[in-house]
Amino acid sequence: MRQSEIHKKIEKALEDAGLGAREVTPFMRVRVVGLTSKGSTKRVRPKEGLVTIWNPTEKQKQDLVEGQIYCVRGLMPLHSVSDVIYLQGRGSSTLWELLAPKEHEKFEHFFTPRKPVSLSNLGDVPLASEFDIAAVVVHVGEVCLSGRQKKQWVFMTDGSCGSSDSGFEGPYSCLLAVNFCGPILNNDSSSLISHNLSGTVVGFFNLVKRARDQMNHLWVAEASENSSYSVYSSLSTTSHLYKTGDCAQKWTKISCSTIQKLRERVLCIIQGH
């Protein structure tokens, strides 16, 4: 009876605070590109689009595969920024019809499969380009508030650069710093990335490469609205990051002292030493 009474008081308090119900609308984003027919005289770069599907159906979650061609119906254009068109649609009212494989031959090549990037070859990735990486999280920084935005830095490594007895201060540092940003809603200053991820191997998708921090010898990237992440244990064995994630996981188990030195170095950078 006591528990029931407390439960009712909590429900009433939440309702009085306007928190009685929380409505969450699931969505997924699909990056698309226009097609160019073979033999076309036009040599204009195909338009890219970012489609937001609200309340996606189970069929769409399972059937939408990278590298396939679809005829899409029921999309609504929102706006266009440079070469990217933003569109949206409702899952039940948006139809994605898969084109037969033989029809692919009618169009110019448009798809390059994803490939994982390691810190040892991150220098080959052009600035402002997106990349995917599997790495162990060395340190998750505190949330910083800036205007209407909150920011949080996450530092990671993957063991691909080897180690150095000189404290990892060489020109090819084995640390990547990623800046995560998000809007402040209702004075919420909670973390964007959980501190519990520290020491965990995580697969990061669609990070954007930024200019290297020459002073601290760090690779730098930032997360965009297209970015996402998944812990190694949740990665599908068919994921292009699974094999590199497995290597990072094995390296982590035998490199505790190296990771601790990197963590200490990160703390020194944060503290300005």
Asked if 52 and 87 sit in the same domain, the reply is: yes
Question: Looking at the 3D structure of the chain, how many domains does it have?
Answer: 2
Same domain, 142 and 262: yes
- The answer on 82 and 201 residing in a single domain is no
155 and 196 in a single domain? The answer is yes
The whole-model pTM stands at 0.73
User: In CATH, what number is assigned to the domain containing residue 155?
Assistant: 2.40.50.140
> Is a pLDDT exceeding 90 seen at residue 4?
no
In a domain, residue 6? The reply is no
> Which range of residues forms the domain containing residue 94?
27-106
Percentage with pLDDT > 70 across the chain: 92
Instruction: Let me know whether 83 and 197 are in one domain.
Output: no
What DSSP designation does 55 have? S
Q: Binning pLDDT at 50, 70 and 90, where does residue 219 land?
A: very high
Based on the domain organization, do 188 and 265 belong to the same domain? yes
Whether residue 35 is found in the same domain as residue 156? no
Q: Could you tell me if residue 1 is inside a domain?
A: no
